[in-house]
Structure 1
Amino acid sequence: MKVSWNQVLAWRLRRQYLEPLTDPDPVEVVGRLCGVQAQVTSSAELAIALRRATADQGGLASALAEGALMKTWAMRGTLHWVTPGEGADFLSLLASARTWEKPAWTREFGATPQQVSDLVEKVSEILHGAELTREELAAELIRDRRFTGMEKQLRSGWGALLKPLAWQGALCHGSGQGNKITFIAPRDLPGWKGLPDPAEAGPRAFAAYLGAYGPAGPELFDHWLSRGSLRKTLLRAFVAELGDRLTAVEVEGRPAYVLTEHADELAATEPTRSVHLLGGFDQYILGPGTKAEEILPQEHRAKVSKTAGWIAPLLVAGGRITGVWEVSGRQLNVTLFPGASAPAREDLEAAAGRVARAGGLGRLTVQVS
């Protein structure tokens, strides 16, 4: 089966609830996207709002409080909103890479593999039925001689020492206390069933990824999940386990897989000329990655993927990123990439109107440069 990138990108827009617009529940959006990056709460809220016809924000906090969503360090070590079921699969795979057992990790973060194992046990004990702030959790841990000298890392906002604990299911973020981050045990969530075996989690996780970001190969999935940390034999086993649930696809000479249930729909998809303004850290680019030149030309990558891991808001036309944007006062400023054509004015203004409604910004004027 052969398809074009124009078809693929149009199909992804449909799968990611960007067109046609409907009114999916925020939990449904998070599940379909295999998580929504959560370092900046307003960006996560915007990502969901722009995928709903009503452009309504809200729902993440209540879903977290109800246990329908969890907030934890997941893909690529970054903070994400995920459903407990999918989250358990992703975390199982991340834990299977055992990155904290590598000497370079120990040198960087000052904890041996045994100390990480001890932290998992101790944190699971401390958080049983409890919700603690970062400071409270650190204070409890440093009373234990095994964790002497770790106070600075345990209190760090980067959470580097806590990430392996999250991947092993010992902690996740709680609802918070005002502006203070809190942690709870995932086992206290209604939808948490523990970490599955990686051999079971892998095929489910790869299939979920293909449902939003396919066609793709297992290597791209691994890059999205763990920056290439999974064993190649494990990745091949995912493909073998899925068997005839996968259909081989050639996208302009590039081999990949799509879920068989989506193959006919993809083949029948027509290219799109739609225009979208997506927020920072949007999954539309984070799913395939900022090195995906079929979406983002390499010469413009630095305009989107900025220093300190910041991902700029996107102008997407015909499925491809053709510029970036920002809001200043009552004006939405669009900066086109050199050589890119400006979308039709009415399409840009309609997209800006959705951003305004989603962000509660009032009417915005659009300036293109």
Structure 2
Amino acid sequence: MHVLATRRKTAVATLVRTAALALLAAVAAAGLGAVPARAADGDVTWTVRTASNSYGADRSSFSYSVNPGGQVNDAMVVANRGKDPLDLAVYTADGFTTGTGQLDLLTRDKKSVGIGAWVHADRERVVIQPGKTAEVPFAVNIPDNAPPGDYAGGIVTSLTQANEAEGINVDRRLGIRIKLRISGELKPSLTVEDLHIDYAGTSNPFGKGDATVTYRIHNTGNAILSAQQAVSVTGPFGWLRADAGDVAAPPELLPGESWTVTVPVHGVAPAVRLAATVGLTPLLTDASGSTTALDPVSTTAHGWAIPWTLLVLVVVLLAAVVGAPLLARRGRARRKQREDARVQEAVEQALREQETPAR
């Protein structure tokens, strides 16, 4: 269970600004107990938990396996831990993964096509007296033509209160995650897209540099998946391999979602032509919470790693090797020319002296 406190400033009248709902990633049973939840903009004086029934007690979230056309009836329990009566709005919405890897919910003004459209509470508001609890039943009605696979969303309680001093409304929300698996052919699939590698060398002509491998993990199947990741960089023919080490797992991605990953790889030799390889082992979690590793997938892309300082050194050495004999020959030729000139001058001087008449 998580808490969301959001604000929206007023223009003419007071407008409510709703922000991402970061309450649904993993609702801990301890957080659903008697201790009031806390929000960034103040105390939330109510708690929510799953009802105890034939589906179980002390569940951390709602999770169902349902056939197309099937129905499920369940309930959420809301407790008022404060000193004043509470009038809470109740609604459901589809989920999505945020840029921080948390499960969030669409706001009420956005259209839901999955859980937010199929799950309905029996009331839109619930009033709870101090120290009391209220059970909010809800029904899950799956359309006959619902595609098989996994769906995630949540059921939310919301309290909007005016803050006259700041001229804003504060919307505090508390909810529980709902996960559906609709029966039919499950096709879990992850792909690696837009894989590329960048290399940064060093001034040391014999030193190793760093590579940065960037790619996007795309859930192209119909199941919620995470993955184990492995990234390596090699030179031609698989030589000079460098591994990235432990790479953090991506968050659980809903069907159709993508997640961008940037991985540094250190100690990469500037082997001119590099190959970056990304291996993914998809992880599928069933309704009981057990995780299964699926067949791994691998993708490779190439990039350049030109050892410029080494090339400059090689060019200088080649120039020295090729130029030294040439310079030596030129030096000998110049010395010979100077010697020949001195001999010629001496001969000419001797001839001039012979031609001078004696006095």
TM-score, normalising length from structure 2?
Answer: 0.22
Higher helix residue share = 1
Rg larger for? 2
The structure, 1 or 2, with the larger RCO (C-alpha pairs under 8 Å, 6+ apart) is: 1
TM-score, normalising length from structure 1?
Answer: 0.21
